[in-house]
Amino acid sequence: MNEFSLYKWVEFLIFVLYLLFVFLAIQIWFLWKDISKGDFKINTIINESFFKKNCIYIFSFTLFFMGHEILEGANLTDAMIYLEVMELLGFFSIVLFSYNWYLTLRSMAPKKSLPYELTELAR
């Protein structure tokens, strides 16, 4: 497999991760709208494990994208695949971050078959 083919596969995976992130962000938005803010307790979300995971995800996201920009600024033409892999890992960490929030909010939201916005379209 040549470098151009590998580059295209990494670009494809970045695009898939981007779509997955958008999907999770929309799901989080729907869940957030369904959570009762009066009964919302910050202690149920912010525990030590949740906080540590989020810090690791944000740190890795920042580290990978800063590394990407530093390598890009160095104009290393041989490092093109490394640039894309660092970008891929950055997107992967932000998808893990949003998935962690999705799982936490899903456990707090009431169970509904369809989001409110979709049930209104059916009428």
Count of structural domains within the chain: 1
Q: What is the pLDDT of residue 121?
A: 62
Task: Give CA–CA dist 47/42, Å, rounded.
Answer: 9
Q: Domain limits at 112? A: 3-121
Task: Give CA–CA dist 36/66, Å, rounded.
Answer: 38
Which tens digits make up the pLDDT trace of 66-116? 888 888 788 776 767 778 888 899 999 999 999 999 988 888 777 766 666
Which tens digits make up the pLDDT trace of 16-42? 999 999 999 999 998 888 777 666 666
Q: What is the four-CA torsion angle of 19, 11, 55, 69, rounded to 10 degrees?
A: -130
The pTM of the full predicted model, rounded to 2 decimals, is 0.78
Residue 44 vs residue 63, higher pLDDT: 63
| 3-class secondary-structure state, position 76 | coil
% residues pLDDT > 70 (the chain)? 76
Q: Write down the mean pLDDT value for the chain.
A: 82
